[in-house]
Chain A
Amino acid sequence: MNKRQKTLKKLAGQKVLFFMIIPCMIYTFIFSYYPLSGWIMAFQNYKPAKGYSGSTFVGMDQFMFLFKDVEFWRSVRNTLAMSLLNLVFSFVFAIVFALLLNEIKSLGLKRITQTVSYLPHFLSWIIVCSLVSNMLSTNDGMINNFLMGIGLIDKPVLWLGEQKYFWWVTTFSNVWKETGWNSIIYIAAISGIDQALYEAAELDGASRFQKMWHVTLPGIKSTIVVLLIMNLGWVLNASFEVPYILGSGLLQDVSQTIDIFVLKYGMSIGNYSLATAAGIFKSVISLALVFGTNAIANKLGESSLM
């Protein structure tokens, strides 16, 4: 009784909060949850011409098609490998870049470096990949020329023809294109750190690196953790374009990702149901990953999403 009254009172005190949030929840329901009724097509052999009601139900067939195919599991492995490499390296590079940038004293140099660094984000992957491919060429490619010039190798390496290099090529292509863009949020987070903390640290005689380690990093830690958890949820979605553009028959075993697999066997041959089934599979894994890591972060006393 008492408890309920308390809750009611609490609710009453929060009516403004609910007034702010409820319309947004309704909106989200309409735009995100309601269309999920379309997931029904994953259990059908859906034909746009027949609609949901006219298409035949096939139970779990679409899922079975995926799960029974060795190629699919290989795609899962490739996707995970490339996404995780990419996640780790893009985080590390973006954070280190943001930290170093923060140390630049000259405002002009700082601004220029920052502005220049995010330019590649605006180029399409087709453009970036074609530059990557030219640089890695055995035929007068910049990388091979350089490595031969300093004597590390004595004949050109076929970077894009050997499976063992491919994941690294995709990872560093990504680092090249997105580091500047990814660092923006950290730069913002760093500038949100209370200057008083630095002053205090200075009084304590902290060195530059000590300040980075004990003030700056903790100051952006919550941002890092939150972004990391959220991005972890997308590991199965990531890495579509680069492997798609740079991959070739020789590399198929390491370059085919889930999305490429679904493209070939789903959309390209008009199988919307398969694409939907794969989407559901990815959603389930994503949610498990996000809520799992979130719980772990909570346990560790880190900041988390919820």
Chain B
Amino acid sequence: MSDNVVVEEKPVDTVAIMNQLPGADIVGQSPLHHAELDALSKKGVRKGGVHLRENKLQAHLTLRCNPNNTEQLAAVVRVLDVALPLQPLTSVEKGDVSIRWISPDEWLIVVPGEKAFEVETRFREEMEGHHSLVNSSGGSTILELSGDNVVDMLKKSTPIDLHPKEFPVGKVVSTVFAKSSAIIRRTGDKRFELVIRRSFADYIWLWIQDASREFGLVIEA
């Protein structure tokens, strides 16, 4: 398309997107809101083998598209300024955008919470062909786990092999976590990130507290 031609808008009602965020006066409650992690971070222990922080109220967008469609791949770069990770079980991160490979035709994109609608709108403008972009921000949250014993704790929780040879930094897996599930990504030598479902968040929070007991659990704000 040329720059000086105004392109006809696509039919607006092919897919429905909406800005799901209210005004700033209404504060969202993350799935672990009730756990009062901020308060715990102030009065809890300062030393321990496992550290936990909820990276809450981010925008979680699930992209489905064709990895063989170069037009679509280019559209992603235009919107996010970073290319989709096409290798299975890999992730990319650039600035405030991170993308996790979930399936051969599925990626989880995380951007700051307030950017969800903007990204959705940009995708609608940029991406052609069969695809879908679904906002799932309310349905999940991110737990950042770190510390000397983070692997020991995770080994109680998931059957995935976390040895650095098998699970290098940047690797991402969707797997079982205790009796629930999680998307686990290694973000550092002793640092991991879990994307967990909202309804299971309390169970996983209880599980992590329990599994960390012998190492000490430090809550970070």
Question: A and B, one complex?
Answer: no
| A residues with CB within 8 A of B | none
Using a CB–CB cutoff of 8 Å, the interface residues on chain B facing chain A are none
